Amino acid sequence: MNFRTALELYKAEPSTARAKELAKELTGEMTVKEKIRMLQGHAMGVTIKNTLTKGRYYNGEAYPAGGCKRLGIPPVLFTDGPRGIVMGKCTCFPVSMLRGAAFDHELEYAVGEVFAKEASALGANLFAGVCINLLRNPMWGRAQETYGEDPYLLGKMGEALTKAMQDNGIIACPKHYALNSIEDLRFSVDAKADERTLHEVYLPHFKKCVDAGAMSVMGAYNKVNGTYCCESKELLVDILRDMWKFEGFTLSDFFYGIYDGPRSLKAGMDVEMPYLFKYAFLYSAYKKGTISDEDIDTAVCRILTALITTLPKHKEQPKSVILSDEHTALARKVAGKGTVLLKNTNSTLPIPKGKKIAVVGRYADKVNVGDHGSSNVYSPYCVTAYEGLKKRFGEENVSVYNGCKSEKALEATKNCEYIIACVGSDWLQEGEFLVNLGNIKKKPKGSGGDRADLRIPPEDVALIKALAKQGKKLIVNIMGGSAYVINEWHNIADAIVFSFYSGLEGGNALADILSGDVNPGGKLPFTIAKKEEDYPPFLHLGDKEREIDYGYYHGYTLLDKKNIQPEYPFGFGLSYTDFEIECSDIVKNDTAVTVKADVKNVGKVYGEEVVQVYLSSDNNAVYRPVKLLKGYKRIGVKANSAETAVIEIDLEDIKFFNPETKSFELDGSYTILIGNSSRNVKEAGKIQF
């Protein structure tokens, strides 16, 4: 039997069980060397070709792994993410953190469909862009690649992206499994977590993606409880396969994910990426008896099962879909949906037509779409803040100073009525640690990685303070991957918007928001604290310590538990209109709790509100969070109208992990809280179990 025959037999009887049978039969047709080749990345040739001929050295084409020409088995063809397809010149969407701020998993599914089409057009069949590591401290340089601090939000967004990829015949690959949220020490840090913390805080979003059909999972570089993730039997077998029933294959993070080939293979790590390195010695280990036929066959069957179940849905796409009007329009829409309005004193925004505007700051007219590492998407254009505002308000009405020297900025703002100050971070200050090869002891300046400071640069603060003295309307536009401590200046700004890294249409989306063409409806996917000490501890490159406790509380759960007031709470975001939310019904059945809420727009313009449902356990015998997000719904409402939001909460999502029984269980009763942020909720009722 060859692969084509296996596919035809699967199509006649499509089920995972049948795919596993066919995978086992196909594995039996292969030689030992062919099977071992299935477990190895083969990207060296692609990398050399791209470096020499195209000046590109990372993922310029799909990275292959495995494959068997004799039997017609295609290789796994890897492309990275998560803000678009890294190969070629594709549509750069806003970073995942902005998409998380949209609180709209249906919209994320649409984004995933675009990713699947552009990946297919360039020949990939695996998308490693379902990044769902939890943000525990905003110091983390790659926070922009994930959706926020809350496990439920991460799970819903990751689930949507996973489904979109798998439904379109692209293998979805959630990453980095697990507890990966420190960048500079990613090769050496050991994250410690007890069972409850592991299963309730850091793993449930991965399980959601597995339940949604993900057929691959990428292991992380770091250690968890003393063992490297890519050789952790607990993570890769006991939890992922035995507990969650994952049927796909695992692959390592690149280059330094695996330290001992046989040990990793036996622990459940199936594919080493992207080159032959530690798995280059698997055949000699097999000859010595270090690994067995069963070890090899098990891994090969997993890979084949993923290919057999996913590829029949694959639809080849022409290259013309890349950067199509439909795709760039969606990128602009998404950027608008996720932009968060933090402050709007005396209705400073929206800006009326005909007003004189100055756009200043280091990012006023600079492309700033995020990290330049493995997630970089090479779009042929990017609309800056100045370009977008100039197009919307007219070139004659918009001036620009692209810098942060206060004197020059003041000169540029002489004749304006509104000032847009573009501040925050870029790829030099946060992102993938571009020079970290595992042995760097001192971090070079401007090399990405974890943030050195949770505040925006001091020259940006000085700029804001100087501009505020002019008495003109001052709007601060924050660009960056996650939260900043802004208590030294936020009170002097008339308005603050958080636009994150907003993609190739970001400038146009910003103009849509500031002009009022789009009413902001984004909500913070993280907590903005009043001071750095309100976040959990973090480790930096210069620290001697390599172990860190990933505690049970972080973000809003930590501040709730300590009764600390945030600067801006999780789930917070203003609109140009006002809403009233009232719970109208709560219904419980054997599988879910359905909450209905009437949302009334009491303002004068259309707007979108995110109704958030939090649950608080009434069990006082075991420590529990004060409340946890367990449902949300983004809903649009016309002025002076009302709509009903229906939010269904799966009972599995409200259970807690019992270390004694090694299972998730329901508490006796819960209080349901409903509102539009973690700190603006009211009791809606109780449910009993």
331-348 pLDDT per residue, tens: 999 999 999 999 999 999
Q: Is residue 470 part of a domain?
A: yes
pLDDT value for 52: 52
Together in a domain, 633 and 539: no
Q: Which amino acid is at 658?
A: N
Mean pLDDT over the full length of the chain: 96
Q: What total number of domains does the chain contain?
A: 3
* 385 token code pair: 């803040």
Q: Which comes out higher in pLDDT, residue 360 or 53?
A: 360
92, β-bridge pairs: none
Together in a domain, 238 and 373: no
Distance from C-alpha of 393 to C-alpha of 563, rounded to nearest angstrom: 45
Q: Is residue 569 part of a domain?
A: no
* 538 token code pair: 């973090």
Domain coverage including residue 455:
327-562
Other C-beta atoms closer than 10 Å to the C-beta of 331 total: 27
Q: Which pLDDT tens digit goes with each residue over 226-256?
A: 999 999 999 999 999 999 999 999 999 998 8
Distance from C-alpha of 18 to C-alpha of 309, rounded to nearest angstrom: 9
Domain boundary (283, 315, 347) is at: 315
Q: What phi-psi label fits residue 146: left (phi over 0), alpha (psi between -120 and 50 degrees) or beta?
A: beta
Distance from C-alpha of 630 to C-alpha of 649, rounded to nearest angstrom: 6
Together in a domain, 359 and 453: yes
When mean pLDDT is compared across 17-31, 37-51, 181-195, 445-459, the lowest value belongs to 37-51
Together in a domain, 550 and 625: no
Q: For strand 126-131 and strand 418-424, is the pairing parallel, antiparallel, or unpaired?
A: unpaired
Other C-beta atoms closer than 10 Å to the C-beta of 311 total: 16
Q: Is residue 568 part of a domain?
A: no
Domain boundary (287, 315, 343) is at: 315
Q: Is residue 595 part of a domain?
A: yes
Distance from C-alpha of 643 to C-alpha of 596, rounded to nearest angstrom: 10
DSSP summary character for residue 332 = H
Together in a domain, 340 and 479: yes
Residues 6+ apart with CB under 8 A from 231: 258, 259, 260, 263, 264, 267, 269
Q: How many residues does the chain have?
A: 689
Place of tokens 């035995």: 242
Other C-beta atoms closer than 10 Å to the C-beta of 69 total: 9
Q: Where are the alpha helices (DSSP H) in 238-351?
A: 261-267, 282-288, 293-310, 325-338
pLDDT over 80 (residue 46) = no
270: domain CATH number?
A: 3.20.20.300
Q: Is residue 567 part of a domain?
A: no
**3-state DSSP call for residue 671?**
strand
pLDDT over 60 (residue 655) = yes
Q: Is residue 613 part of a domain?
A: yes
Together in a domain, 285 and 237: yes
Together in a domain, 639 and 523: no
Q: Which pLDDT tens digit goes with each residue over 484-542?
A: 999 999 999 999 999 999 999 999 999 999 999 999 999 999 999 999 999 999 999 88
Together in a domain, 373 and 416: yes
Q: Which pLDDT tens digit goes with each residue over 100-132?
A: 999 999 999 999 999 999 999 999 999 999 999
Together in a domain, 400 and 520: yes
Together in a domain, 22 and 166: yes
Together in a domain, 252 and 354: no
End-to-end CA distance of the chain: 53
pLDDT value for 435: 73
Q: Is residue 571 part of a domain?
A: no
Cβ–Cβ < 8 Å for 212, 169:
no
pLDDT value for 577: 98
Q: How confident is the model at residue 643 (pLDDT cuts 50, 70, 90)?
A: very high
Distance from C-alpha of 33 to C-alpha of 20, rounded to nearest angstrom: 21
Burial tier of 318 (Cβ tally within 10 Å: 0-12, 13-18, 19+):
exposed
Together in a domain, 283 and 409: no
Q: Please report which helix (H) or strand (E) contains residue 688, including its range.
A: strand 680-688
Whole-number Cα distances in Å, 624 to 129, 612, 620: 32, 19, 8
Q: Is residue 322 part of a domain?
A: no
Domain boundary (562, 596, 628) is at: 562
pLDDT value for 56: 64
Q: Which amino acid is at 109?
A: Y
Measured in degrees and rounded to the nearest 5, phi and psi for residue 600 equal: -110, 130
523: domain CATH number?
A: 3.40.50.1700
679: domain CATH number?
A: 2.60.40.10
